[in-house]
Amino acid sequence: MTVRQVVCLVGGLGTRLGPLTRNMPKPLLEVGGRPFLDYLIDEAARFGLQRLLLLAGHGAGEVVRHYAGRVVGGLSIDVIVEQSPLGTAGALANAAAALDPVFFLTNGDSFFGFNWLALVPALERDDWTMHLALARGVGGGRYGRVETREDRVSRFLPKAESELPINAGIYLVRRRILDRIQSVPCSLENDVLPPLASEGQLLGLAAEGTFIDIGVPDDFARSQHAMPAFTRRPAAFLDRDGVINHDDNYVHRPEQIRWIDGAREAIRWLNDAGYYVFAVTNQAGVARGYYGEDDVKSLHGWMQGELQGAGAHIDCFEYCPYHPEGVVERYRRVSEMRKPGPGMILKLQKEWNVEMDGSFMIGDRDIDMQAAAAAGIAGHQFPGGNLLDFVRMRVPAKRRNPSSR
């Protein structure tokens, strides 16, 4: 099952921030020169999600004005407004008709630098209702703690200084959660999650990463530099044919794809380590008339769906359709976008705010290494075999989160 929807709770009052939220909902407060919610939207789009549903309450008019009907990176945005305070679970019940069978749910006033798709492989099982992202290493005594046994949440503990993780406010949810909301107002955290934990219906996945809760003044101040810093990170640039899938001569249909051993796992590993992951691929078959750009885009969309099932994603597929000997006139040209030129790498650097220090290219041919050198990044030539093993031997595993705590 492919997950396409994310639901975001943006209706809280934000009383701890005083006059800042008197007329403006917390998620729309400016952080690093843009609304905090924009960072969450960018993350959802990165993970290939297609529909965002904002559940608004306090300051709903501002949410509608800023976001209703927008499309960001392929993510279409709709807003549902509650007419009176319903609580976090009540807001879900109010949106019941618009919910997919499975969806991501996130708080609109907190951010966790975490690979959301790591929650998806658990869909192979049907023995849970919600899968929670848990943040490790969050200090202080203002957060409740989460106790787990193996991969299940066993109970929620009161606020305390502890080494146990906290609920990070990112969930993968089955629609049957609505059966647990019998009346409103209803709190997800107080009324729904604890009984589900006692019944063994909650899975939990703990990870380290940047955690920001702008509902408290200290974190709101910290977010002004932490959030812009988080979006600047190194990248893994991967050749496609010969690195992600076998190079079987002008591959352009799903049935032609043979994944390299360990490729999906390697991409998941890079996602979890905090790198942007890009595919940069020469597609001379377009210039030669063997297939069109729509075929390339369709194949890449299919590959993203397959990767999601493994808890992985590629942030962007960049391809070059040009070749100096192409038979299709509009694609017959010399282009710096075509490897060994660095054009695709440099284009992605600019568009994604990539930190080139620590970025690298993995390819199977000399032209990949030449493109890496021309762009000023390291190049690792893949000789074949298992890509995950290759990546683990050459790439630092430490998550590159400048503000993790």
pLDDT tens for each residue of 309-332: 999 999 999 999 999 999 999 999
Given pLDDT bands bounded at 50, 70 and 90, which one contains residue 115? very high
Question: What letter represents residue 100's amino acid?
Answer: D
Over residues 62-67, the mean pLDDT reads: 95
Instruction: Specify the pLDDT at position 177.
Output: 97
Residue 399 maps to a domain: no
pLDDT at 44 over 90: yes
Q: Is 248 a catalytic residue?
A: no
Q: Is 239 a catalytic residue?
A: yes
Structure tokens at 5: 């929807």
pLDDT in tens, 258-301: 999 999 999 999 999 999 999 999 999 999 999 999 999 999 99
208 and 253, same structural domain? Answer: no
Give the percent of the chain with pLDDT over 70: 97
Over residues 85-107, the mean pLDDT reads: 97
Over residues 349-368, the mean pLDDT reads: 97
205: phi then psi, degrees, rounded to nearest 5: -125, 115
pLDDT at 14 over 90: no
DSSP 8-state code for residue 188:
I
Among candidate residues 190, 205, 231, the one where a domain is terminated = 231
Residue 402 maps to a domain: no
pLDDT at 238 over 90: yes
Residue 139 maps to a domain: yes
H helix count then E strand count, the chain: 11, 19
- Three-class SS of residue 88? helix
171 and 242, same structural domain? Answer: no
Supply the CATH number for residue 352's domain.
3.40.50.1000
Among candidate residues 178, 203, 231, the one where a domain is terminated = 231
239 and 227, same structural domain? Answer: no
Instruction: Specify the pLDDT at position 111.
Output: 96
pLDDT at 396 over 90: no
Residue 400 maps to a domain: no
274 and 203, same structural domain? Answer: no
Residue 34 maps to a domain: yes
Instruction: In whole angstroms, give the CA distance from residue 195 to residue 201.
Output: 9
CA distances from 151 to 60, 115, 119, 170 (A): 37, 17, 11, 16
Residue 403 maps to a domain: no
In the chain, how long is the greatest CA-to-CA distance? Answer: 68
Are 37 and 26 spatial neighbours (Cβ–Cβ below 8 Å)?
Answer: no
Closest CA to 93 of 219, 178, 214, 218: 178
Residue 128 maps to a domain: yes
351 and 286, same structural domain? Answer: yes
151 and 251, same structural domain? Answer: no
260 and 223, same structural domain? Answer: no
Give me the number of domains the chain comprises.
2
pLDDT at 13 over 70: no
Over residues 62-83, the mean pLDDT reads: 95
Over residues 381-405, the mean pLDDT reads: 77
Instruction: In whole angstroms, give the CA distance from residue 167 to residue 400.
Output: 21
331 and 188, same structural domain? Answer: no
Integer-rounded Cα radius of gyration of the chain: 22
198 and 49, same structural domain? Answer: yes
Instruction: Specify the pLDDT at position 404.
Output: 34
266 and 142, same structural domain? Answer: no
Are 175 and 101 spatial neighbours (Cβ–Cβ below 8 Å)?
Answer: yes
Which residues span the domain enclosing 254? Answer: 235-394
Over residues 240-268, the mean pLDDT reads: 97
Among candidate residues 189, 215, 231, the one where a domain is terminated = 231
222 and 243, same structural domain? Answer: no
- The catalytically annotated residue of 38, 109, 213, 241 is 241
Residue 116 maps to a domain: yes
pTM of the predicted structure, to 2 decimals: 0.92
- The catalytically annotated residue of 191, 213, 219, 239 is 239
Q: 82-86, 175-179, 239-243, 274-278 — which is least confidently predicted?
A: 82-86
Supply the CATH number for residue 13's domain.
3.90.550.10
385 and 248, same structural domain? Answer: yes
pLDDT at 12 over 80: no
